[in-house]
Every structure is written in structure tokens, then in C-alpha cells.
Amino acid sequence: MDFDPATPFRRSTGIAAGVSPKELRGPSYRMVLPGTYVRAATVITPLLRVRAALLPYGSVAWASHASAARVYDLPIPTIADEHVSVARAGLRRRHRGITVHVGRGGTRVVRGVRVSEPRMLFVELAGLLSLVDLVVVGDAMVRRRLTTPEALVEFCSVVSHRAAAAARRAATYVRSDVDSPMETRLRLLIVLSDLPEPRINLAIRDDAGDVIRKYDLSYPLVKVAVEYSGKVHVLTREAWEEDLERRDASDDEGWRLVPVISSGIYAKPEQTLRRVHRVLLDRGQPGVPLRLGDAWRAHFPGHADPT
């Protein structure tokens, strides 16, 4: 096979191809992971790092855990190490920057890389991610048609894995039709406070049956919609005008909109919950407790809110 320095290569491979150790240490090459290099002009992407992590293991390993999530381009928080899995303990080899697992379950090839199949990946990630981050991944998997909520629940109920319990809990919160990670976070904030679970992406239709509006999270019985608003709604005039028109139409039809921005999830989750709670009580939504539960606090610590 021809030597291509634009793709990851091991130090021994480079030397065998005529690259001296001095050259590897010089400006012409850069290290991707310890012992693995590429030509200096090569852009180091997450996919390239995963390919580099698999090199020391030949064909006996596949990308798993965080590395597999990066190959699928799923939304996960920053995790420093690459993760690969092998079929049995005797195949494990230690390399800096790489965590090696003994894997189980099926694999598939994605973007030219052998990776854990989606349901097994969800279980693997349960050992690395928080409940909320894991449900974000699950919702993204469903959105990408990598699995379904039902398939995840079924798989997690029978899988043998040290993170199976965490995966089973998270799988029960995974839903279809979720458009973004922030919508997942907002929904879990609401549900973990013991408020009734809102409807996802409710479509409002005109008399002809055409969709004229959608609500991220809603309680149709009492016409309450909880909407996440990202920066685009503030930074573009078009989005701002569209929001104003949308609010006018909602007001005309008796809907109450509760907008939430990122600080309402990360910095002031309790204030967000109080707003939603108050509106639902005022509107008479069934199943709303008089006092909010506290389970959300472990997952959305935010800032102190003494008022």
C-alpha cells in the first residue's frame, strides 16, 4: 500500500516509508495521538482522530463510546480520550490517549469506520454521560433514524452491561420528533420537576389541513406552549419579525406562549420552572402538582434562586 502522509500513520510506518525520526519531530508533520502522525497541513478532524486511535489495533478493534458518537456526529460533550473496543480482554493494548474496552453487541461501518451499532452505543455512553446528555443523544439518534424510542427501551431492558441501569432509565425519556438538543434539555427540566410531560412539536393546521405553526413543547388542552428561543431569534431581523407574527397569531387563538432562552436552562432553571408551573396552574392543566419536585436539581444546578 502506498504511503499517504495525509492520513494517520504510525511512527514505524513513517520510518519504513523513509521519513526520519528527526523529520517527524520537525514542522513537516504533526502528532495526532502519541505515536501517530499526519502531514502538518492536514486538518485534524474528529473523524481523523478516530482513525488514528484505531491504527494500533489493526482490524481487531472498532470505535466505541465517545469515538463512535463522534463518527456518527452525535451531540456529546467534550471528552478528551478516544475510545475503542475489542472482542476479548487478551486483545487490549494500552496506548496514551486511548481508552480500550472489551465490547459486546453488533457493529456497523459508518463513514468508512467500524463503529458500535446505535443501540449498543447508547448503552456504552450511559457509562460516560449524565442522564440529560444521554437523552440528548437518544433523541438525536431517533431524529437521525438510527433507532426508535421503542427499540432503545427494548434493547436496554435485556442488554448485559455495567451501565445498563443508567441506559434503561435514560431510554424511557427518549422521544421522537425532537428538533434540537436544547428542546430535549427543556423537556427534561420540565418532566424532572414532576410537571406533566408536554406534547412534542404539535402542528397547528388551518381549515384546509395545512400546517401553519408548530410548537416545540405544548399542553394543547389548555393552550400553553413552551418554546426554546436560540440566538438566531435575537440576531436576525427576519426571525424577530417572524416571532412577532407568530405571537400575534397565537394570541388570537388563545394560546399562551412561554419563551425560554439558554440562560433559563443553564443559569436560571428554577425561574423557568416557576414560570411554567404558574401558567399551567392558572390555565387549569390536569396533573400539575401544587409543589414542584426536586429531581431536576441534580441535573440542572443553575444558580441560587432565593426568591
Give me the residues paired with residue 260 across strands. Answer: 228
Could you give the percent of the chain with pLDDT greater than 70? 91
What pLDDT score was predicted for residue 2?
82
Grid coordinates given for 151: 427499540
Domain membership of residue 138 as a residue range: 58-67+75-171
Supply the pTM of this predicted model.
0.89
pLDDT digits (tens, 9 = 90+) for 21-58: 999 999 999 999 999 999 999 999 999 999 999 999 98
Number of structural domains in the chain: 2
Is 50 inside any structural domain? no
The CA distance from 179 to 255, in Å, is 21
84 & 147 share domain? yes
Q: Give Dmax over CA atoms of the chain in angstroms.
A: 76
164 & 225 share domain? no
- pLDDT of 75 higher than 90: yes
User: Using 50, 70 and 90 to split pLDDT, how confident is the model at 250?
Assistant: low
Of 122, 150, 171, the one marking the end of a domain is: 171
Could you give the percent of the chain with pLDDT greater than 90? 80
Of 121, 141, 171, the one marking the end of a domain is: 171
Question: Regarding predicted confidence, which is higher, 76 or 91?
Answer: 76
215 & 251 share domain? yes
Q: What is the CATH number of the domain that holds 270?
A: 3.40.960.10
Average pLDDT, the chain: 90
Q: Report how far apart, in Å, the C-alpha atoms of 112 and of each of 50, 51, 85, 170, 218 are.
A: 11, 9, 17, 29, 41
Is 155 inside any structural domain? yes
157 & 226 share domain? no
Of 116, 143, 171, the one marking the end of a domain is: 171
User: Using 50, 70 and 90 to split pLDDT, how confident is the model at 247?
Assistant: low
- pLDDT of 251 higher than 90: no
Is 113 inside any structural domain? yes
- pLDDT of 146 higher than 90: yes
167 & 187 share domain? no
Taking residues 132-148, report their average pLDDT.
98
Q: Report how far apart, in Å, the C-alpha atoms of 8 and of each of 3, 37, 141, 146, 170 are.
A: 10, 5, 28, 28, 36
163 & 188 share domain? no
DSSP assignment of the chain: ----TTS-EEHHHHHHTT--HHHHHSTTEEEEETTEEEETTS---HHHHHHHHHGGGTTSEEE-HHHHHHHHT-------SEEEEESSGGG---BTTEEEEE--S-EEEETTEEEE-HHHHHHHHTTTS-HHHHHHHHHHHHHTTS--HHHHHHHHHH---TTHHHHHHHHTT--SS---HHHHHHHHHHHTTTPPPPEEEEEEE-TTS-EEEEEEEEETTTTEEEEE--THHHH-HHHHHHHHHHHHHHHHTT-EEEEE-THHHHT-HHHHHHHHHHHHHHHT-TT--SS--SGGGGT--------
